[in-house]
A and B are shown apart, each in its own frame.
Chain A
């Protein structure tokens, strides 16, 4: 199979995924549907036409070597980057090119590859900010933040396992804990879609599996669609419902973990050695 034919096949597979998802869903539209997304930086075609869909309660992993265009794709879905082509739909609504804060309001929570938290606030206050935004109370000039939605914030912190850190400043937290704060912040809005860019980077191996297991459980319980990138193949193959493999801005394979694991081009392009991961 030539490279072009392979890419075309993968694109068909990805689109098929989108169609299948749309067909299989009672409401018609999947939570997230991405069609032919493109982004150029100068002469570099960072993302050259990618399509996929994620349904409620489903975890889709976006994987690929460095520079494959994963984070660019993420930032186009989350609104941090404006796509040069293609469409992003959230539950059927076109959100292409909307600013991040509008996308958040429509029910998209996200975590960043390099954690972004408010360093001058405590862990609890970080979550309270998301809750205040959720309740539309950010313009308040009078009642102090301290007691507002504190119990709700603590419940979210308990859920991600860092309630004991609630009083600490985010500026001094361990990196793995910051990832948890980000997850709690993203969850505060009861999102329909969760975008997680390398959610477990910087965590100890056991923590990683635990965090993704937690994410998967929450997603399935609450019917949240999850799109995530990850370098840890253990995490990916253990928790993703489906996997989309990117290379140089293009999709090269898509499907359930088993299909992807055995895909010849994935082995060649991405994994190189033919081994997918140590543990499987």
Chain B
């Protein structure tokens, strides 16, 4: 027993080393540039793949092996610096969420690039020369390479400490982490500082990736998102921008995973995120983090005045509705299913938009409510034979209950911390679906959730989907124009003023959170019936990011944005899936282009264009015209 505990502990320490390297890089980048860099996981993955190639090319001796490790790290660092120069540099002025969207576009491109270069199969690396053996403590076998990894963490921590405390560059990095504006005002070359910070951070990610290989862990195409969620958790637990914090948190998570598997084999995945949620609730800035200057609501940017839709837009909306009523009988079965799916995602995006736009609460985990709605339906149908109407009523209720519990904690935070807590809760929900096999079937999901009776046919079900999705979306829209939506926006614009005129900001945000969760639950319920099955992927982080992309592509400031965004995103994805195997790369490139070309989102850009065009048409347009002139000023 003692040996088992020892082995598990050392195992935990060894995995903590890689996690620490990745998280430290992420933390340094976030501290200086304030960018939540999803692509950091991609650089970790690239570090691993490049190492695989270099191990094969370079001689199989000490020099070749360690040279390959270091060269992979440097290559990842250079790629990170390139990413900063080519993409992120153009986005420093943009709202934070657009930077995040861009980094996710890069994730998609890198995934396909890796697929193209290294192929779909998992690739193993060699064992480290000279460290192939093991030492024995009693019965327990401890690989020498693991012992080497124990040392890596503290050594890198010490080197980083020296770098930050003994060099001018390090001093600047620390200063920028505390107060970026001040450093800029002192005349420091920010571009150079940011590029070098990206180089260092990405180098650490690449090193983490390369060092994992000799433990027998393969390079895979999904290691990017796997590691980034864990690294986010570590950074948040340790405190954003704090390297020692990342070290401490990586150790904590490593040990937790190692021992958790002995004690709670069913919920190891949940553990990390439970700890993260607990830390955020008790110490909102992490174990060793310090409060940052006013944590602004993420991604709001310059607040645009929300005005009622102009008559032309209303007419367009009515025309689309009429078309949706008339067209379906003439569509093929493929088009019918795509149309239904798009409608569901319009609702999903609209529900997220209520939180992100008027609410100013960016959620990285909105898919949780979508998935819980779907699972709620599936479990009720398969276990209790609940009829469809009951299922569709239960979906929002299940999601709303989860929203009430998760939201209660989330509204106590703001900005990127709130976003991270939503991510943590979503990961908890996802791990539940994934690991609680007896209830949810785990990876195999739950099958046989079909619509019944006269709604069973594809066409009637499409009409039901359209009616419910569009109906609830319009209700959400109505809410935004009603006092509640205004009170929510008031709390986002100025909590100080909102409280001073009697608005309980947290209470309003909490109710909005629940409402958004319920609406996402409706979307999830419809989706479950549409697909006839539910899977843990419904709650995966990539689905949450899909939602973010829809909202941001459409334009978070406009009420119609999420609708446009969902249609464009889902439509694009659907088309690309049919046309090419490398649809991710094309989608990623499209996202990058859109972000660089329309930082206001598609609907935002259309609105600006419409108002500019209206400027010449006389007094009727005066109201909106002035709005536009104001925004331009």
Contacts and interface: CB of A to CB of B under 8 A. Distances in A.
Q: Which 7 A-B pairs have the closest CB atoms?
A: A120-B303, A116-B497, A172-B630, A169-B305, A140-B483, A118-B493, A133-B502
A119 B145 CA distance: 58
Contacts of A116: 494, 496-497, 500
Given A118-B490, A141-B483, A167-B626, 6 more contacts: A120-B306, A121-B305, A121-B486, A145-B486, A169-B630, A171-B305
Given A120-B493, A121-B489, A145-B486, A104 B302 contact: no
A20 B490 CA distance: 41
6 contacts: A104-B501, A116-B494, A133-B503, A140-B483, A142-B482, A171-B302
Residue with the greatest number of chain A CB neighbours at <10 A, chosen from B479, B492, B493, B627? B493
Interface in B290-310: 302-306, 308
Interface in B600-633: 623, 626-627, 630-631, 633
Most buried by A among B306, B486, B500: B500
Interface string B369-386: 000000000000000000
Contacts of A185: 497, 501
Interface of A is mostly: loop
A129 B496 contact: no
Contacts of B226: none
A138 B487 contact: yes
Contacts of B302: 171
A144 B482 contact: yes
B122 interface: no
A189 B500 CA distance: 11
B499 interface: yes
Given A146-B308, A168-B626, A171-B630, A121 B493 contact: yes
Given A101-B502, A167-B626, A143 B304 contact: no
A79 B306 CA distance: 31
Interface in B486-544: 486-487, 489-490, 492-494, 496-504, 508
B478 interface: yes
Nearest to B497: A116
Contacts of A146: 308, 481
A125 B487 CA distance: 11
Given A118-B489, A171-B630, A172-B630, A145 B499 contact: no
B439 to A, nearest CB: 35
Contacts of B486: 121, 125, 128-129, 132, 145
A188 B303 CA distance: 24
Interface in A89-105: 99-101, 104-105
A110 interface: yes
Nearest to A167: B623
Nearest to B622: A167
B303 A119 contact: yes
B304 A120 contact: yes
A134 B502 CA distance: 8
Contacts of B485: 145
B164 interface: no
How many B residues are at the interface, by size bracket?
35 or more
A78 interface: yes
A115 to B, nearest CB: 9
B483 A80 contact: no
Interface size class of A (residues with CB under 8 A): 35 or more
Interface string A176-189: 00000000010011
A140 B487 CA distance: 10
B493 A143 contact: no
A137 interface: yes
Q: Which of B305, B306, B503 has the most CB of A within 10 A?
A: B305
A148 interface: yes
A138 B494 CA distance: 16
Contacts of B481: 144-146
B484 A139 contact: yes
A1 B94 CA distance: 60
A117 interface: yes
B496 A80 contact: yes
A169 B630 CA distance: 8
A130 interface: yes
A139 B483 CA distance: 6
B306 to A, nearest CB: 6
A119 B489 CA distance: 10
A121 to B, nearest CB: 7
A140 B501 contact: no
Interface string B435-479: 000000000000000000000000000000000000000000011
A169 B626 CA distance: 9
Contacts of B304: 120, 169, 171
A122 B483 contact: no
Nearest to B495: A116
B503 A101 contact: yes
A101 B504 contact: yes
Contacts of B479: 141
Nearest to A119: B303
B313 to A, nearest CB: 16
